[in-house]
Structure 1
Amino acid sequence: MHVQIVLFDGFDPLDVIGPYEVLHAGGAASGGAVSVELVSAEGPREVVGGTGELALRATAALDPARPGVVLVPGAAGRVGAPDEEPDPDAAEPSIPVLLGRTLTTGLPALLKAALDHPAVTLATVCGGALVPAMAGLLEGRHVTTHHLGLDLLDATGAHAVRARVVDDGDLISGAAVTSGLDLGLYLLEREVGPRIAHAVEELFAYERRGTVWHPRGPLPAAF
């Protein structure tokens, strides 16, 4: 399994580093069955995140036709009030503004190509789900994001789910920032096997939380 983690200006570092470390450890535990790299829509470049001046280097351009996983993180910035109008000229951009800026890049078209490819799974962490959602790519799909963005997900036509990790086939999403660890472990379990995922859990002294939500099975009765 090869995983391309997408960097964009203003990305949340924890959304990137959490899954990266889990997946890299999974590669070591599996004898190389998992590989992971940092990419961007523009190609190799230094990308500045939204937490201070922390930057990471994308070593390649996102290839939407490469079999495996494309993982989109969320953004880090000012949260702002729920009813606040986004101000693109603010000194400290809000998270919605940072995510919205990705729509003016080549990223949405690349994500559409990835979703259209039968051998590619799209994964998102936190607000990363809002990037393809706002681009109109997740209509009718089951997906989660940070709880502050669930209403926006619904507004795009996606089915927002209040769960830590949601598996909708070729679309896997994690909720808030630390769920990137859970998502990484679930990817290892699903694609490589539970023994590898468990070995990484033990290495990091971290256990996944909650039940992975799938769109199958009977509907629960009201409590």
Structure 2
Amino acid sequence: MHAQFVLFDGFDPLDVIAPYEVLGAGAALGADTAFTVEFASAEGERLVPSGVPGISLRAVAAVDAGRADLVVVPGAVVLTEDDVRRVFGAALATPLAGALATAVGRDGVVVATVCGGSVLLGMAGLLAGRTATTNSGATALLGSLGARAVEARVADDGDLVTAGGVTSGLDLGLHLLDRFLGPDAALAAERLFHHERRGTTWTAR
């Protein structure tokens, strides 16, 4: 299985790195199948500055739902709703909006978000009627964008899996390991990262 982690100017590096490491550890944990992981941007290969000064990550490919089984969208380092609209608005003014719309609409592709990544999808008009979570400070904003906002650490709505605040990327990664590779892989990753998942996962069951 192939996972792409979306980078855009101003992204939150912890939103990306935590689930990237967890999913990328599957092969080392002896899972029968494993994720391959890569950083991607709408523009293709480039050095992408995060919202934390001095931290950038290099995208090695373009966001492409035709290649990916899983597309993970982070939030951004923002403090106010004006910051959210500025940073996400700039990101959506690039080819990223179309790439995310393709991923959300493509059969067989799961789109996952961490923290404000769900708000980014909502601002792109991609969450109407879907159940999703985000950080606690953006729940009302997420609801105003057409989503059914729930306050959960992780919300699994089938081909859309969203996670709450910034550290919930660890829980998202473990949930996805459990869902796709099985509980043994998730338990092994919990031991490796010395982290036990928190809270109840909302599911569409």
Letter in 1 for 2:38: E
Post-superposition shift, 1:150? 1.0
1:188-220 deviations in whole A, cap 9, x for unaligned?
00001000010010011100001110133xxxx
1:152 aligns with 2:141: yes
Instruction: Confirm or deny: 8 A CA contact 1:3 1:68 kept in the other structure.
Output: yes
Q: So what's the TM-score if we normalise by structure 1? A: 0.88
Post-superposition shift, 1:27? 2.8
1:219 aligned residue: none
1:70 aligned residue: 71
Report which of the two structures shows the higher radius of gyration computed on alpha carbons: 1
1:202 aligns with 2:191: yes
Q: Distance in 1 between matches of 2:84 and 2:68?
A: 30
1:7-28 deviations in whole A, cap 9, x for unaligned?
0000000001101111111232
2:36 aligned residue: 35
Unaligned runs of 5+ in 1: 87-93, 217-223
2:54 aligned residue: 53
Moved over 2 A (4+): none
**Correspondences of 1:107-146 after superposition (within 5 Å):** 107-146=96-135
Letter in 1 for 2:54: E
Letter in 1 for 2:50: G
1:70-115 deviations in whole A, cap 9, x for unaligned?
00000013x13x6xxx3xxxxxxx2432122112011111111111
Instruction: Confirm or deny: 8 A CA contact 1:41 1:106 kept in the other structure.
Output: yes
> Structure 1 67/11 Cα, relative in aligned 2: closer, same or farther at 3 Å?
closer
1:91 aligned residue: none
2:2 aligned residue: 2
- Aligned residues: percent identity? 52
Instruction: Confirm or deny: 8 A CA contact 1:41 1:105 kept in the other structure.
Output: yes
Aligned-residue Cα RMSD (Å) equals 1.3
Q: So what's the TM-score if we normalise by structure 2? A: 0.96
Unaligned runs of 5+ in 2: none
Number of corresponding residues? 204
Instruction: Confirm or deny: 8 A CA contact 2:156 2:203 kept in the other structure.
Output: yes
Letter in 2 for 1:142: T
Instruction: Confirm or deny: 8 A CA contact 1:46 1:57 kept in the other structure.
Output: yes
